[in-house]
Structure 1
Amino acid sequence: MDFLKPATVLDLKNIRDELVKMEDTIIFKFIERSHFPTCPTVYKENDPHLPIPDFEGSFLDWALMHSEMTDSQIRRFESPDETPFFPDKILKPILPSIQYPRVLASYSPEVNFNNEIKEVYINQITHLISRYDGESWENFGSVATIDIQCLQSLSRRIHFGKFVAEAKFQADRPLYIKMIQEKDIDGIYRNITNSAVEEKILERLRVKAEVYGVDPTNKAGYRKITPAYLVDIYKKLVIPLTKKVEVDYLLRRLECE
């Protein structure tokens, strides 16, 4: 997919291919996270064990904010497929700007579900992918680092729903215009849902987790990711959040007509 070539970006086959690649990224990031316990202190706001001068929030928030500030200076958030967790903190790039052709609606950056993604990740996903529930003080920095990578991978995957929504809107404008005008949210959900495709995604994830989740040279080793947990994460969290992004994007789509 080439964001400098709009025709490639709204091709549903290209979008699906990109989503498949993201599965591998997310699985391997989850596997890295599985080496550590949950470390709840990393997520506690203003925790006395991790005092951060002049900052209100958790250790993860602090690390994520500074990571995004650096990333923004190397143009990360100029790319239309990246959505920052701290949009008010991003800085002007040091590298020359890239003028990407507009593919999504102008309000697209406002469709930002990162707060919800972070809440779901901390409160639900970490308990499914961590090695055990508990602390590991010496690994707080490592945990925050891999958490940032997990969150950014999940965010990119879920917010890719904006490209799916735009592609579907362009493919059947009369249908979607009618539903948007009537604020037919249930109708939009029905039309963006492809149960057969979703089942293929879940089955593919189960197989990948079976293969990637163990060291083939050490059959006695522990399973680093549980297939049923990965399927649940996608079925109950990732796919529903992606659909929320699509619906939120589509409900405003006529602002640009």
Structure 2
Amino acid sequence: MDFLKPETVLDLKNIRDELVRMEDTIIFKFIERSHFPTCPAVYKERDPGLRIPDFDGSFLDWALIKAEMTQSQIRRFESPDETPFFPDKILKPILPSINYPRVLATYSPEVNFNGEIKDVYINQITHLISKYDGECWENLGSVATIDIELLQSLSRRIHFGKFVAEAKFQADRPLYSKMIRERDIEGIYENITNSAVEEKILERLCVKAEVYGVDPTDKAGQRKITPAYLVKIYRELVIPLTKKVEVDYLLRRLESE
């Protein structure tokens, strides 16, 4: 997939191939996160043990804002597949801008589910993938660092639903235009859902978790991430959030016609 070549971006096969590659990234980052406990202090606003001058949010938010400010200066958020968690904090790039051809609708940056993604990650996913529930004060910086990488990877995967939605709209404009005009949200959900593809994703995740989740040199076979938890995260959180992105994007699609 080449964002400078629009014809490659809206090819559903290319999109699916990209989503498969993202699975590997997310799984390995889950494994990295599994070495640490939940560390709730990282996510608490104004935690007494983590006083940040002139900042009222959580340690994770502070670190994420600083990371995104730096990344915005090297053009990260000019790429159409990147969605910032703090869009009001990003800075002008130092590098020359890249004039990507327009593939998505003009309002696409406004379709931003990162607040919900962060909430789901903190309150549900960390409890499934962490080593145990509890603090580990000497590792708070490491935890925040891998959390940022995971959040951005999950965000990219989930917001890729915009490309799926645009590809499906282009493939059947009359059908989707009718549903959008009628605000037929149930019909849109039904038409964007491909149960066979979703089951293949979950089956593939089970295999990857079996292969990646255990160190082959560890005779005890201690598992870092279980297939059941990985499937649960995708089935109950990642896939539904991706569909919400698709529906939210499609409901406004006629604005760009």
Given the two structures, how large is their TM-score scaled by the length of structure 2? 0.99
Once the two structures are superposed, what CA deviation does each residue of 1:46-98 show, in whole Å capped at 9, x if it has no partner?
11110111112100000000000000000000000000000000000011000
Indicate the RMSD between aligned Cα atoms, in angstroms.
0.5
How far did 1:217 drift?
Answer: 1.2
- The aligned counterpart of 2:171 is 171
In the TM superposition, 1:52-71 aligns within 5 A as 52-71=52-71
In the TM superposition, 1:57-206 aligns within 5 A as 57-206=57-206
Gaps of 5+ in 2: none
| Whole-angstrom distance in 1 between the partners of 2:202 and 2:208 | 10
Gaps of 5+ in 1: none
Q: Secondary structure at the match of 1:87?
A: coil
> Percent same amino acid at aligned positions?
88
| Whole-angstrom distance in 2 between the partners of 1:238 and 1:203 | 15
Aligned amino acid, residue 11 of structure 2: D
| Whole-angstrom distance in 1 between the partners of 2:47 and 2:37 | 18
Once the two structures are superposed, what CA deviation does each residue of 1:7-28 show, in whole Å capped at 9, x if it has no partner?
0000000000000000000000
| Whole-angstrom distance in 2 between the partners of 1:219 and 1:107 | 53
Given the two structures, how large is their TM-score scaled by the length of structure 1? 0.99
| Whole-angstrom distance in 2 between the partners of 1:193 and 1:221 | 37
How far did 1:219 drift?
Answer: 2.6
Aligned amino acid, residue 154 of structure 1: L
Large movers: runs of 4+ above 4 Å: none
Aligned amino acid, residue 225 of structure 1: I
How far did 1:103 drift?
Answer: 0.1
**How many residues end up aligned between the 2 structures?**
257
- The aligned counterpart of 2:229 is 229
Q: Secondary structure at the match of 1:51?
A: coil
How far did 1:119 drift?
Answer: 0.2
How far did 1:222 drift?
Answer: 1.9
- The aligned counterpart of 2:249 is 249
| Whole-angstrom distance in 2 between the partners of 1:188 and 1:16 | 20
How far did 1:29 drift?
Answer: 0.4
| Whole-angstrom distance in 1 between the partners of 2:79 and 2:65 | 18
Q: Secondary structure at the match of 1:89?
A: coil
Once the two structures are superposed, what CA deviation does each residue of 1:218-242 show, in whole Å capped at 9, x if it has no partner?
1314211011000000000000000
| Whole-angstrom distance in 2 between the partners of 1:30 and 1:70 | 24
Aligned amino acid, residue 241 of structure 2: L
Aligned amino acid, residue 69 of structure 1: M
Q: Secondary structure at the match of 1:29?
A: helix
For the pair 1:10 / 2:4, whether they are aligned, the reply is no
In the TM superposition, 1:22-61 aligns within 5 A as 22-61=22-61
Aligned amino acid, residue 27 of structure 2: I
| Whole-angstrom distance in 2 between the partners of 1:190 and 1:85 | 29
